């Protein structure tokens, strides 16, 4: 192997660094059968849209065999496709087509828990002496019959469910039908690593790891301490959920997790594959992300919830986020996202105008890290208003009306505006297509040179054209009021200034000669070493 070959192979193995990953929620992307539910063939038929957008990879939310109590995040067979989504052959065809288009394929692995219909759990719950008796987190009741400790479920109530067969409680951090696996039991880890191998051998390029910090629970099952009201944060669970009343020291974030992640990385590396972990923690998300991605021997990237919070990303919050990240682990690699299948779409969540939404898009493209875009984000879709009678999400049903659940961000993609279902399905969709989304359909925006879709295409092309934005350092991030300025450094130096507010702001350029870039994105050019930015204005300059 020549030195040049080694360089090329090394670059290919680092494909994830700075990549733009497009998330597909398969139930809602494209239906090919007319049953109102999206499927794998539908995804394959629409991959050209994602390739033309300029994404580097796709992340497909779970499509595995499942009773669908939590819409696929309750897996009953890790190594097969649920019939509603198609077959393994359909998946293979999807991977082949994605690779033809230059798209990497990542799939969503839900390893912390299974469905209660999984054969592993069916066997485990039979008695205390079967071959899989220790595959899940089982515990004796307290003397009075109550649960073994005070842990709470994210979906409401105790995290423990009584099982009369074993006369023990089992742990479920989510629905009662989602029992938690016991990662302290070595055969469980090996079985899950085999799942990863199965999909890597089918050609996937990596995984999104659901609830990555939930894998291990404290082996002593110690109570979580209470959390003072002033320290509570509703970025993980809605404010009305008592889950926020605890500091989750023992039900997740355990130190044993890093050793498992090293084993997982050893499975990934021979395939040149990558993983991005979801860090669900309201207090220590950045620190955990740093811990799990530093050192080059665990997962490549994680996303915390700093940019998925209800509170709008301000210049001050941006500065604080990067300052804390730099302090805990400068070599950690984040994966930033504004929206996903679990949060209110950021256009609505942050109350953004069209101008503000465009500026936040460009800001995202200029950040150090990899990026996730959620389907429909490129259309500027707002959150859909779902009536209670239309709800499918058990989370929303439980906490309605203070929390309306996740259905509003999961409604079908709109491809055309000339039929009631937006071109998503010939049947009645599993969630309704709302009129405001039809007006933003892909076909409508294709015909408009200044549409949000075209803006996203230009923004992704801009990031791809400047390697510094994908892999370079980010330095000098300072917030002054609504103004955030920073520099990206690498093969070229790029100065970035973003006015994240409705008032005028002025920025000074560093010393040196600079030329304007990003004009087709709406960037304002600096004149004489300074730039005045109108509301939601931004400036991008390259050092000459």
- pLDDT tens for 129-168 read 999 999 999 999 999 999 999 999 999 999 999 999 999 9
DSSP 3-state of 456: helix
Cα 483 to Cα 129, 236, 361, 477, 508: the distances in Å are: 63, 28, 16, 10, 11
* Confidence bin at 490 (pLDDT 50/70/90): confident
DSSP 3-state of 22: strand
**Alpha carbons 487 and 542: distance in angstroms, whole number:** 10
- Residue 360: predicted pLDDT: 98
Domain 16-114+186-463 matches domain 473-543 at the CATH topology level: no
Let me know if 35 is a catalytic residue: no
**Fold for domain 473-543?**
Immunoglobulin-like (2.60.40)
Rounded to 5 degrees, what are φ and ψ at 90?
-65, -40
- Residue 11: predicted pLDDT: 53
Please name the residue that has the structure tokens 């469905």: 115
- Residue 491: predicted pLDDT: 79
Q: Has residue 8 got a pLDDT over 60?
A: no
Assigned token pair, 42: 């539908």
Query: Which candidate in 31, 90, 251, 278 is catalytic?
Result: 278
Let me know if 210 is a catalytic residue: yes
* Confidence bin at 304 (pLDDT 50/70/90): confident
Least confident span in 184-188, 243-247, 488-492, 506-510:
488-492
Please state the rounded mean pLDDT for residues 276-280.
95
**Alpha carbons 90 and 96: distance in angstroms, whole number:** 10
Q: What percent of the chain has pLDDT over 70?
A: 98
CB distance 510 to 527 below 8 Å: no
Please state the rounded mean pLDDT for residues 202-220.
98
Look over the chain and give the mean of its residue pLDDT values, rounded to a whole number. Answer: 95
CB distance 123 to 225 below 8 Å: no
Q: Has residue 3 got a pLDDT over 50?
A: no
Q: Has residue 476 got a pLDDT over 60?
A: yes
- Residue 202: predicted pLDDT: 98
Residue 173: closest CA among 257, 220, 111, 255: 111
| Paired sense of beta strands 104-109 and 206-209, if any | parallel
CB distance 151 to 139 below 8 Å: no
- Residue 312: predicted pLDDT: 97
Query: Which candidate in 31, 70, 210, 306 is catalytic?
Result: 210
Sheet arrangement for strand 473-480: 473-480, 483-489, 494-499, 538-543, 514-516
Assigned token pair, 287: 């620190």
- Residue 1: predicted pLDDT: 36
CB distance 365 to 462 below 8 Å: yes
Least confident span in 30-39, 169-178, 279-288:
279-288
Please name the residue that has the structure tokens 């503000």: 356
Q: List the end-to-end C-alpha distance of the chain, in Å, as a whole number.
A: 37
Instruction: Tell which CATH classification among 3.60.15.30, 3.20.20.80, 3.40.140.10, 3.30.450.20 matches the domain 16-114+186-463.
Output: 3.20.20.80
Assigned token pair, 244: 């926020």
Q: Is the pTM of this model over 0.85?
A: yes
- pLDDT tens for 70-113 read 999 999 999 999 999 999 999 999 999 999 999 999 999 999 99
Radius of gyration of the chain (CA): 23
Rounded to the nearest 10 degrees, how much is the dihedral formed by the CA atoms of 234, 237, 243, 247?
Answer: -50
Q: Has residue 9 got a pLDDT over 80?
A: no
Annotated domain spans of the chain: 16-114+186-463, 473-543
CB distance 194 to 263 below 8 Å: no
């Amino acid at each position: 192997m020549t030195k040049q070959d080694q360089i090329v192979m090394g670059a290919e193995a680092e494909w994830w660094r700075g990549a733009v990953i497009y998330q597909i929620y398969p139930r809602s992307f494209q239906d090919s059968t007319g049953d109102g539910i999206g499927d794998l063939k539908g995804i394959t038929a629409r991959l050209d849209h994602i390739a033309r957008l300029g994404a580097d990879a796709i992340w497909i939310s779970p499509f595995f065999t499942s009773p669908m109590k939590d819409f696929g995040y309750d897996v009953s067979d890790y190594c097969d496709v649920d019939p509603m989504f198609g077959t393994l052959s359909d998946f293979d065809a999807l991977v082949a087509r994605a690779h033809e288009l230059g798209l990497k394929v990542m799939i969503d692995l839900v390893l912390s828990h299974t469905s209660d219909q999984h054969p592993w759990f069916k066997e485990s719950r039979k008695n205390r002496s079967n071959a899989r008796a220790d595959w899940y987190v089982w515990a004796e009741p307290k003397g009075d019959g109550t649960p073994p400790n005070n842990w709470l479920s994210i979906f409401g109530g105790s995290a423990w469910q009584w099982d009369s067969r074993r006369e023990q409680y089992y742990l479920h951090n989510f629905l009662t039908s989602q029992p938690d696996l016991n990662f302290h039991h070595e055969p469980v880890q090996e079985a899950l690593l085999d799942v990863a191998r199965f999909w890597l051998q089918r050609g996937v390029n990596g995984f999104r790891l659901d609830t990555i910090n939930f894998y291990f629970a404290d082996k002593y099952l110690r109570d979580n301490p209470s959390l003072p009201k002033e320290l509570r944060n509703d970025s993980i669970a809605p404010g009305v959920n008592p889950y926020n009343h605890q500091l989750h020291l023992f039900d997740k974030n355990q130190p044993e997790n890093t050793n498992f992640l090293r084993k997982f990385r050893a499975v990934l590396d021979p395939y040149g594959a990558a993983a991005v972990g979801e860090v669900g923690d309201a207090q220590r998300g950045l620190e955990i992300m740093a811990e799990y991605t530093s050192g080059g021997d665990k997962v490549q990237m994680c996303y915390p919830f700093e940019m998925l919070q209800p509170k709008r990303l301000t210049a001050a919050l941006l500065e604080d986020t990067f300052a804390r990240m730099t302090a805990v682990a400068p070599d950690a690699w984040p994966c930033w996202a504004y929206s996903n299948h679990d949060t209110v779409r950021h256009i609505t969540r942050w109350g953004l105008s069209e101008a503000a939404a465009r500026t936040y898009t460009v800001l995202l493209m200029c950040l150090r890290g990899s990026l996730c875009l959620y389907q429909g984000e490129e259309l500027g879709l707002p959150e859909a208003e779902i009536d209670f009678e239309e709800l499918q999400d058990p989370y929303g049903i439980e906490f309605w009306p203070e929390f309306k659940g996740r259905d509003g961000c999961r409604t079908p993609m709109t491809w055309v505006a000339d039929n009631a279902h937006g071109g998503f399905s010939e049947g009645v969709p599993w969630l309704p297509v709302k009129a405001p989304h039809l007006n933003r359909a892909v076909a409508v925006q294709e015909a408009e040179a200044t549409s949000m879709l075209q803006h996203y295409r230009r923004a992704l092309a801009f990031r791809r054209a400047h390697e510094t934005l994908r892999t370079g350092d980010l330095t000098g991030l300072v917030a002054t009021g609504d103004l955030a300025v920073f520099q990206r450094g690498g093969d070229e130096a790029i100065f970035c200034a973003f006015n994240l507010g409705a008032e005028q702001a002025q920025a000074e350029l560093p010393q040196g000669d600079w030329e304007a870039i990003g004009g087709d994105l709406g960037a304002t050019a600096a004149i004489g070493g300074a730039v005045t930015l109108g509301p939601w204005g931004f400036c991008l300059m390259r050092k000459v």
